[in-house]
Structure 1
Amino acid sequence: MAAILGGGLGGLSTGYYLLKNNLINNNNLKLYLLEGTKYCGGWIKSIKTKDYTFEQGPRTIRPKGIIGVNTLNMIQDLGLSEHVASIKHDHPAAKNRMIYVNNHLHLLPSSFKGVFQRITPFSKPLIFALLNDIKQPYKHLEDDSIYNFVERRFGKEIADYAVSPMICGICAGDAKEISVKFLMKTLFEWEQVHGGVVRGMIKSIFKPNTDKILELSDLARRAQEEKWNVYTIRGGLELFPTALHNYLKDNDVNIKLNTKIEEIQFVDSGTVVLKNTAGEKIEVNHIYSSIPAYSLANLVCKQHPELAQDLRDIPFVTVGIVNLHFATEKTLITPAFGFLVPPIENSPILGVVFDSCCIPDQNGTVLTVMLGGRWFKEKFGDAVTTSTLYDIAVKEISSILNITEKPSAHNVNILHRCIPQYVIGHYERVEKIRQYIKDKNLPISLVGSSYDGVGINDVIYSAKTQVLKDCI
């Protein structure tokens, strides 16, 4: 008997892979999925009407790499292929990505030719960044912030105007704190092994490709042939976790909603007792925890305070999400994915996604404004209201995009401690946590965004990886 803690994408994916690998059926095991709320899907939530879709969390998925192929294979297996809406490489949402600097929107280069042109706010063509890397001396480090690494190798402008806003968009974090291994592990290794990124890149060209190869589903093959940039699900991305939820139900997984666990008691290497807030106890042989690291820390702190402290040391940030719909026949925006705001601009917003360009079947203009992140408390305090965030979002949209119309509909949500921050030393910390579990022979596996990547593809692949480890 096994239990999955958390009904977000990580927990649902864990159930999916346990079933696919026959760990349940072949061993005649019973599987629980325990979710503390009334909803499965985690931060993926869609509000769908006849005129618009508001995504309150993630909205698009990247198809690239092994983890991208893995997700596409899952989506086809769940019967969602016909609902997939792709954005190809030549679509405005793929080509047009902007940053807001010095009270102006600036289009970032999207082609090879663009790196040879001087594009504001950069003072030189981006090709000069590579020349800067060649001139820089070698510096041995175990880890570094992504900001320091990029500034050292490619210059301050690249760090400020390219990488810092990108980190805001990916994890709502501060590039000066986030580990370079979070996004540029290969480039960092090239520097450490070969003395520079360009040198490492040149050497890698002649190195045999040893990457794993996954069998391509028809959907994954189509994504490659058609050169998808990103994709989403028609009718709202929430259809994805809903399909996973239904798959688990159809395969007799015992899904218990509104079930909040307050303590985990490890009896021995094959027995765990889960005590919920109603005083009930569930005894299982193994746990797959997909809940945030800080939540798991609260459940194990009595027996394993050292483990709990390491779990708590993984920081999380809060993000405000303001969805806006403008019921105008003429679009109010230039076709693009949206724009991000570098932290040096000291803005209350992280960026804006142009959903009516990125998400199909939208009438009018639909925007999503992201606020706070690493700076949420600094900008808004502890008692900010949704109405205040709405007012700030509308004001910023009016100022930056010159939109004077009043939104015809809106939704505001504060996602408390929603995104983990992979700060310097994160991967060593996660290794220490997993080594503790191994040394103590605790029957628990860790999956989800707290440990192995914050994106949708990362979370799904994390579940697959942990399940396959248990098969060995």
Structure 2
Amino acid sequence: MMEVAIIGSGISGLSVAHHLKKAGVEVKVFEKEEVLGGNIQSEYIDGYLCELGPQTVLADSKMEDFLKDLHLEPIYANPSSKKRYIYKKGRLVALPLSPLEFITSPFLSFSGKLRLLREPFVPKSPKKEESIAEFVRRRFGKEFLDYVVAPFVSGVYAGDPEELSVKYAVRKVYELEERYGSVIRGAIKLKALGPSGKLISFKDGNKTLINKLSEKLEVLKGNVVLRIRRKDEFFLLDTKEGKFSAKAVVVATPSTSASYLLRDLSWSVSEEFDKIYYAPVLVMHISVNAGSLPEGFGFLVPRREGKRILGVIFSSQLFAGRSPKGKDLLTLYLGGATDPQIVDYSDEAVVSIVEKELKEILKIEHFEIIRITRWKKGIPQYTLGYGRYLDLANSIEKEQPGLFLTGNYLYGVSVADCIRASYQVAQRVLEFLELKKGAVV
């Protein structure tokens, strides 16, 4: 019998495994695929380094401690990456970086600026829960929603602001209103808006993080877990390669897989988790001649502009060494909750759309396709009423001592969110095993 079985080798599962291994716990990681890392995948193709999933990691002090623990050196984004663009009325416009810049720049109309200045005086809504769109229209106005927040939601969640819950998808913003009665007033007081850290990656891409985490762990690749059952004080795992038993189990898979695995432990939780919606995302890597792009991180495209591209990252400007000399690498995103069908289009149809839109937006006539990647279940959507899923996760953990759930459908969709959560999850596992408290945090 092992002490802890971890199901799933994405960043959530491997990070928890790392903490437990460091604390002296016997851990086995089960992964149904032959390739580790979930949607964190980096590939070299003809001299281009392509990130098929997350492009960057936001490194705060906790992340920096985590990397030091792994003896892993990050690379930092080019300072010019602070400059970002929004496609507005036929051209790329630099996005203001502070509340003051929004007021002084021509990005917003005069009426849009007046609406922004009113925000500190807008009362709270009597509604128990609002969508991001409802919240932003009420506090900042429609123009700010259309040209700032909606593109941001597309860039982070590939989501629909009319469907996502402000309380669960952007909790930091929600809490500013709750605590201070105003987002702007609270943000100024706490300096809480904008990234709280530096954008990083690694010389050979984000997959480096997965490789480093897994190198000292026992990972059973290609060994799918078919069933989890409880027997007295421990768990039985039926897998492709045989039966295993464990004192504790950490399910670190997407909610759809967790739904399947939990069916013998709680049929009701299993059914509900299967309803969590993941927005599909199509990622396209293309090459253009160097000098074809404005300087910066990239651009987002508001849906009201009538384009299919959600956004584009200037990958080789963001981090050095991502493309051969004389070439630039672009990473394009399409699909999401507002345009899911495009993920099922043929390569030819997608290329035709991209060719037309890049010509309009960047004036690029020719490009070379490096890779097209389709994530049919890309990013979990923290929709209105999402709290019920978090409550269900808590309830099954209480009903089944020794069972722990983690993943980007519970603690936030970013890599940094998953790593921060891993400390808490590992600590709870250690306390369940009655080992030395404080070994992780």
Question: TM-score, normalised on structure 2?
Answer: 0.89
The structural deviation recorded for 1:302 is 4.1
Alpha-carbon distance in structure 1 between the residues aligned to 2:182 and 2:220: 52
Match of 1:341 among 301, 317, 320: 301
Structure 1 vs Structure 2 CA RMSD:
2.5
1:295 matched to 2:257: yes
Match of 2:372 among 407, 412, 431: 412
Q: Give the match's secondary structure for 1:247.
A: coil
Alpha-carbon distance in structure 1 between the residues aligned to 2:269 and 2:197: 42
| C-alpha distance after superposition, 1:291-316 (max 9, x if no partner) | 00111101222442101122123211
1:178 matched to 2:200: no
| C-alpha distance after superposition, 1:86-105 (max 9, x if no partner) | 126xx2211x1111133222
Q: Give the match's secondary structure for 2:110.
A: coil
1:310 matched to 2:272: yes
Q: How does 1:388-427 map to 2 (within 5 A)?
A: 388-407=349-368, 409-427=369-387
Alpha-carbon distance in structure 1 between the residues aligned to 2:364 and 2:225: 47
| C-alpha distance after superposition, 1:265-304 (max 9, x if no partner) | 1223x321122246x2222121111100111101222442
The structural deviation recorded for 1:52 is 2.1
1:75 matched to 2:73: no
Q: Give the match's secondary structure for 2:96.
A: coil
Alpha-carbon distance in structure 2 between the residues aligned to 1:193 and 1:144: 17
Q: Using the aligned pairs only, state the percent identity.
A: 26
Alpha-carbon distance in structure 2 between the residues aligned to 1:174 and 1:398: 26
Aligned residues of 1:356 and 1:367 also touching (Cα < 8 A): yes
Q: Give the match's secondary structure for 1:285.
A: strand
Structure 2 unaligned spans of 5+: 432-441
Match of 2:23 among 21, 43, 48: 21
Given the superposition, is the C-alpha separation of residues 199 and 340 from structure 1 closer, same or farther in structure 2, using an over 3 Å criterion? closer
Aligned residues of 1:168 and 1:174 also touching (Cα < 8 A): yes
The structural deviation recorded for 1:111 is 4.8
Give the aligned residue type for 2:379.
I
Give the aligned residue type for 1:453.
G
The structural deviation recorded for 1:200 is 4.8
Give the aligned residue type for 2:206.
L
Aligned residues of 1:98 and 1:339 also touching (Cα < 8 A): yes
Alpha-carbon distance in structure 2 between the residues aligned to 1:10 and 1:128: 43
Aligned residues of 2:169 and 2:382 also touching (Cα < 8 A): no
Alpha-carbon distance in structure 2 between the residues aligned to 1:303 and 1:114: 53
Q: Give the match's secondary structure for 1:141.
A: coil
Given the superposition, is the C-alpha separation of residues 111 and 376 from structure 1 closer, same or farther in structure 2, using an over 3 Å criterion? closer
Question: TM-score, normalised on structure 1?
Answer: 0.83
Please name the residue that 2:310 is paired with.
Answer: 350
Given the superposition, is the C-alpha separation of residues 113 and 441 from structure 1 closer, same or farther in structure 2, using an over 3 Å criterion? closer
Alpha-carbon distance in structure 2 between the residues aligned to 1:455 and 1:190: 21
Alpha-carbon distance in structure 1 between the residues aligned to 2:187 and 2:17: 39
Please name the residue that 1:267 is paired with.
Answer: 231
Structure 1 unaligned spans of 5+: 25-29, 210-223
Match of 1:55 among 51, 54, 65: 51
Please name the residue that 1:370 is paired with.
Answer: 333
Alpha-carbon distance in structure 2 between the residues aligned to 1:187 and 1:323: 32
Aligned residues of 1:87 and 1:228 also touching (Cα < 8 A): no
The structural deviation recorded for 1:352 is 0.6
Alpha-carbon distance in structure 2 between the residues aligned to 1:40 and 1:309: 27
Give the aligned residue type for 2:71.
G
1:276 matched to 2:239: yes
Given the superposition, is the C-alpha separation of residues 359 and 394 from structure 1 closer, same or farther in structure 2, using an over 3 Å criterion? farther
State the aligned residue count: 424
Please name the residue that 1:244 is paired with.
Answer: 213
Q: How does 1:71-470 map to 2 (within 5 A)?
A: 71-81=63-73, 84-87=74-77, 91-94=79-82, 96-111=83-98, 113-120=100-107, 122-124=108-110, 128-182=114-168, 184-192=170-178, 194-198=180-184, 200=186, 229-248=198-217, 253=218, 255-268=219-232, 270-277=233-240, 280-326=242-288, 328=289, 330-361=290-321, 362-363=323-324, 364-379=327-342, 383-407=344-368, 409-438=369-398, 440-470=399-429
Aligned residues of 1:319 and 1:376 also touching (Cα < 8 A): no
Alpha-carbon distance in structure 2 between the residues aligned to 1:201 and 1:238: 34
